[in-house]
């Protein structure tokens, strides 16, 4: 059991990595796997930012600070569940079988990054959603399909704290309540919507409490705490799969990065606030807890980080070596069959970009 | 459960709203993935009764009264469509459709494109549109041009019961998202024969409703009826008018439009929406670029005035009448 209220943040790990409530013996393997993913994604994210700085990637939305909540999402979703992301969900997408090079390809301006592998659980997942909050109503549609088909599956959708100001958020919670949809709305409350802090988004005491108005359950969890997030998502997804209705989870985290690589958070965020947030960050916190419990050590850490470096470098090499898509792709996937009205444009595009010869 | 291989029945007389209803019944019987959703569409059968009887026939899991939120209806439809359902959503009036624009532009119309074919969005949004029924404010707009510019979104407008049935069946079968605009002024204008379980019609062809040699009258939706009446008047004056129902604004059947001008050399484009930035401009530009040497007169456009659709006391004066169409056709002949 764990605390589930909109007003008290469920936590398992103290900031210094001390356990409030130690997991049972059967839980360590999952936490270690979670830690490995978090460390991998931390390295991946750092290198992705560097790629952007050197002109090899487009504007990139960092997931620094979101590792625990997004890893927990990936660890708790079943393959036949559905994931509807916003755009800081790299860890979840990776655990759903999206390749790291595809994540780079997407932020590198190439839609093929959204063509997830056919054999991955992510194959039916929606791609990243840039217009804020618009993925929420879509997730309600996916959940309606799951319910209509009598599936024992759940739909997990993510958004940031800024998205909770949108009508989409309220419309989604509302219909999820009325229709008892198998939908989990996971808010990554990282305290910032670009430059606007959480307190300027809503006068509500918490975001989780907004569930009450929609007639669904809502609670707050420490988003920097992997075991707490696993508790929350295990509970919520299991309920949804069993037809017990929708849940809103507010995961408390902190955006340790700029909004994107095109942003400079020093314009609006105090250095002291950022420093304080680093004391609560999820990766070191879980590492300390694992070490403290005797389930991780310096040698394992060193070996794993070396492995991560190799894996990320291979993904980068693969991304950089991928030939560009044919220009005609911009038309070829627009309709199921290219309408006659577009044939002339396609012929011109092909002529201009290949000189009439197929690449 | 009906088989998907029904033979067309004998044609029976139907008006347009009955044809919508029949098409929905037949599509839902033929394909379990077809679901309908919207405001007041289940128990009430829709404010125009277009969805009457569907809830009784197919149950509330496939016929869904939604909360009153058009943006939600569109987002639900996108989500369902990406996962294999074929949602047919009703927006009660076109004046309330604007909340769906973000989902249509940013998601429905580009889902296949941005996932490079992994996901698609085979949804239909139905909406009654146009003026002439003395409706409240915001119930009489014709903003089809806003939607016709969205790449990936098909825009379809029927103008008779048979085309309503055939085009709606095709729209529901179509793997692409479709905006299906129903000209409500002619919903119950006349009952004409429609084959139940009939065949779909093509979604990218204009319909030539009347063959002629002197001038081409090009229109869609409710204005087809004023246009046909204008063709009758012109005939009385010895002028042979060809009448083209564009029916599918996107993708546009340029071939038929160019062919009719090649034949007649004169074009009058008629639509209820304002002329400025209206879809008639796209057709006029097509004729100018691809049929210039066949044109014997400037292309005429007969449209609503460049103002918001007036509240009903003045709406008739805003909508193009037969007199304006006849006068424009004669100008092309006198040029």
What's B168's domain CATH number? Answer: 3.40.50.970
Kind plus residue range of the DSSP H or E element containing B207: strand B207-210
pLDDT tens, B106-131? 999 999 999 999 999 999 999 999 99
| A116 contacts in chain B (CB < 8 Å) | 115, 118
Q: Among positive and negative, which fits the CA dihedral A47, A50, A51, A57?
A: positive
Domain for residue A9, yes or no?
no
**Spatial separation of the C-alpha atoms in residues B313 and B20, rounded to whole Å:** 29
Contact call for residues B247 and B167 (beta carbons, < 8 A): yes
Domain for residue A20, yes or no?
no
Do A317 and A343 lie in one domain? The reply is no
Do A220 and A180 lie in one domain? The reply is yes
A 31-90 → B contacts, CB under 8 A? 82, 84
Q: What is the pLDDT of residue A359?
A: 45
CB pair distance less than 8 Å for A137 and B74: yes
The length of chain B in residues reads: 335
Q: What is the pLDDT of residue B173?
A: 98
Do A233 and A352 lie in one domain? The reply is no
Quote the number of domains for chain A. 2
Do A157 and A203 lie in one domain? The reply is yes
pLDDT-derived band at B4, boundaries 50, 70, 90: very low
pLDDT tens, B60-73? 999 999 999 999 99
pLDDT tens, B30-44? 999 999 999 999 999
CB pair distance less than 8 Å for A114 and B71: no
Q: What is the pLDDT of residue B3?
A: 42
Q: Which two tokens stand for residue A109?
A: 């301006």
Q: What is the pLDDT of residue A1?
A: 62
Q: What is the pLDDT of residue B1?
A: 37
pLDDT tens, B287-312? 999 999 999 999 999 999 999 999 99
Domain boundary, last residue among B145, B175, B195: B195
**Plot region of A185 (φ>0 → left; ψ -120 to 50 → alpha; else → beta):** beta
Contact call for residues A128 and A87 (beta carbons, < 8 A): yes
Q: Which residue's entry shows tokens 């599936």? A: A151
Statement: residue B9 has pLDDT above 80: no
Contact call for residues A250 and A189 (beta carbons, < 8 A): yes
Q: Which two tokens stand for residue B57?
A: 């026939």
**Residue in A85, A125, A333 to test binding to B, most B beta-carbons within 10 Å:** A333
Domain for residue B6, yes or no?
no
A334 touches chain B (CB under 8 A): yes
What residue of A is the nearest CA neighbor of B63? A148
Domain for residue B3, yes or no?
no
DSSP H stretches of helix in A96-206: 100-107, 134-148, 167-178
| B35 contacts in chain A (CB < 8 Å) | 148
Domain for residue B4, yes or no?
no
CA A134 to chain centre: 15
B139 is catalytic: yes
Strand B178-183 and strand B192-195: the pairing is unpaired
Do B54 and B153 lie in one domain? The reply is yes
Looking at residue B291, which CATH number applies to its domain?
A: 3.40.50.920
- Cis peptide, bond prior to residue B251, ω within 30 of zero: yes
Do A304 and A180 lie in one domain? The reply is yes
Do A211 and A337 lie in one domain? The reply is no
Strand B241-245 and strand B215-219: the pairing is parallel
Do B226 and B283 lie in one domain? The reply is yes
Domain boundary, last residue among B195, B223, B257: B195
Contact call for residues B123 and A122 (beta carbons, < 8 A): no
Range(s) of the domain holding residue A287: 25-324
Domain for residue B1, yes or no?
no
Do A293 and A192 lie in one domain? The reply is yes
**Spatial separation of the C-alpha atoms in residues B255 and B263, rounded to whole Å:** 12
B 28-47 → A contacts, CB under 8 A? 35
ipTM value, please give it.
0.97
**Spatial separation of the C-alpha atoms in residues B271 and B280, rounded to whole Å:** 7
Neighbouring C-alpha atoms within 13 Å toward the C-beta of B131: 25
Domain for residue A17, yes or no?
no
Q: What are phi and psi of A167, to 5 degrees?
A: -60, -35
Task: Identify which of B69, B80, B118 has the shortest CB distance to residue A144.
Answer: B80
Do A245 and A343 lie in one domain? The reply is no
The torsion angle over the Cα atoms of residues B323, B325, B330 and B335, rounded to 10 degrees, is 130
| B83 contacts in chain A (CB < 8 Å) | 82, 124, 141-142, 145-146
Looking at residue A299, which CATH number applies to its domain?
A: 3.40.50.970
Do B191 and B251 lie in one domain? The reply is no
Residues of A identified as active-site: 255, 259, 268
Quote the number of domains for chain B. 2
Do B296 and B226 lie in one domain? The reply is yes
Q: Hey, which bits of A15-169 come out as E strands?
A: 82-84, 155-160
Contact call for residues A241 and A15 (beta carbons, < 8 A): no
Do B26 and B151 lie in one domain? The reply is yes
Contact call for residues B94 and A181 (beta carbons, < 8 A): no
Statement: residue B230 has pLDDT above 70: yes
Do A145 and A124 lie in one domain? The reply is yes
Q: What is the pLDDT of residue B95?
A: 95
Range(s) of the domain holding residue B305: 207-334
Do A125 and A197 lie in one domain? The reply is yes
Do A314 and A341 lie in one domain? The reply is no
What does DSSP assign to residue B186?
G
Do A224 and A340 lie in one domain? The reply is no
Do B78 and B190 lie in one domain? The reply is yes
Q: What is the pLDDT of residue A356?
A: 57
DSSP helix, strand, coil percent of chain A (3-state; round to 5): 50, 10, 40
pLDDT tens, B169-211? 999 999 999 999 999 999 999 999 998 788 999 999 999 999 9
Ranges in chain A, pLDDT < 70? 1, 356-359
């Amino acid at each position: 059991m764990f605390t589930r209220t909109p007003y008290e943040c469920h936590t398992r790990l103290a900031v210094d990595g001390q356990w409030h409530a130690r997991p049972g013996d059967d839980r360590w393997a999952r936490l270690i796997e979670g830690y490995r993913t978090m460390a991998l994604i931390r390295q991946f994210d750092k290198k992705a930012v560097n790629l952007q700085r050197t002109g090899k990637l487009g504007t990139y939305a960092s997931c620094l600070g979101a590792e625990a909540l997004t890893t927990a999402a990936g660890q708790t979703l079943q393959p036949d569940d559905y994931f509807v992301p916003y755009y800081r969900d790299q860890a979840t997408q990776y655990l759903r079988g999206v390749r790291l090079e595809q994540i780079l390809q997407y932020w590198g301006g190439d839609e093929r990054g959204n063509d997830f592998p056919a054999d991955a659980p992510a194959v039916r997942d929606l791609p990243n959603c840039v217009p804020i909050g618009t993925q929420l109503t879509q997730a309600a549609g996916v959940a309606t399909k799951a319910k209509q088909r009598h599936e024992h599956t759940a739909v997990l959708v993510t958004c940031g704290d800024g998205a909770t100001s949108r009508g989409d958020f309220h419309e989604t919670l509302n219909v999820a309540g009325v229709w008892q949809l198998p939908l989990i709305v996971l808010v990554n409350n990282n305290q910032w919507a670009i430059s606007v802090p959480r307190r300027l988004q809503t006068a509500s005491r918490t975001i989780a409490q907004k569930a009450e108005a929609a007639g669904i359950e809502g609670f707050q969890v420490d988003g920097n705490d992997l075991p707490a997030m696993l508790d929350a998502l295990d509970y919520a997804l299991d309920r949804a799969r069993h037809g017990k209705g929708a849940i809103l989870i507010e995961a408390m985290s902190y955006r340790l990065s700029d909004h994107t690589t095109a942003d400079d958070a020093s314009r609006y965020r105090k250095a002291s606030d950022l420093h304080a947030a680093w004391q609560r960050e999820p990766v070191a916190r879980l590492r300390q807890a694992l070490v403290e419990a005797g389930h991780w050590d310096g040698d394992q850490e060193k070996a794993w980080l070396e492995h991560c470096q190799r894996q990320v470098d291979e993904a980068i090499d693969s991304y950089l070596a991928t030939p560009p898509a044919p220009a005609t792709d911009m038309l070829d996937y627009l309709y199921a069959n290219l309408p006659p009205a577009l044939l002339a444009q396609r012929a011109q595009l092909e002529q201009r970009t290949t000189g009439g010869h197929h690449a | 459960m009906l088989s998907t291989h029904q033979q067309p029945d004998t044609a029976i007389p139907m008006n347009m709203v009955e044809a919508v209803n029949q098409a929905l019944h037949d599509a839902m019987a033929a394909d379990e993935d077809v679901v309908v959703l919207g405001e007041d569409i289940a128990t009430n059968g829709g404010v125009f009764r277009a969805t009457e009887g569907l809830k009784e026939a197919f149950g509330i899991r496939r016929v869904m009264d939604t909360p009153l939120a058009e943006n939600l209806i569109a987002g639900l439809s996108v989500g369902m469509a990406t996962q294999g359902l074929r949602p047919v959503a009703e927006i009660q009036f076109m004046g309330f459709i604007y909340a769906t624009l973000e989902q249509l532009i940013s998601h429905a119309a580009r889902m296949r494109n941005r996932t490079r074919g992994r996901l698609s969005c085979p949804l239909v949004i139905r909406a009654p549109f146009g003026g002439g029924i003395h409706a409240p404010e915001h119930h009489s707009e014709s903003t089809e041009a806003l939607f016709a510019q969205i790449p990936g979104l098909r825009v379809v407008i029927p103008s008779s019961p048979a085309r309503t049935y055939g085009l709606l069946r095709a729209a529901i079968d179509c793997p692409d998202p479709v905006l299906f605009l129903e000209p409500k002024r002619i919903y119950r204008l006349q009952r004409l024969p429609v084959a139940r379980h009939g065949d779909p019609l093509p979604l990218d062809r204009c319909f030539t409703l009347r063959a002629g040699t002197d001038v081409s009258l090009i229109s869609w939706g409710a204005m087809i009826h004023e246009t046909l009446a204008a063709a009758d008047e012109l005939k009385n004056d010895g002028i042979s008018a060809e009448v083209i129902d564009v029916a599918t604004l996107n993708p546009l059947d340029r071939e038929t439009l160019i062919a009719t001008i090649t034949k007649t050399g004169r074009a009058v484009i008629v639509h209820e929406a304002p002329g400025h930035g209206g879809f008639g401009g796209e057709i006029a530009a097509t004729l100018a670029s691809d049929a210039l040497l066949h044109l014997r007169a400037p292309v005429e456009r007969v449209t609503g005035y460049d103002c918001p659709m007036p509240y009903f006391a003045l709406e008739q004066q805003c909508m193009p009448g037969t007199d304006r169409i006849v006068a424009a056709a004669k100008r092309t002949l006198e040029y």
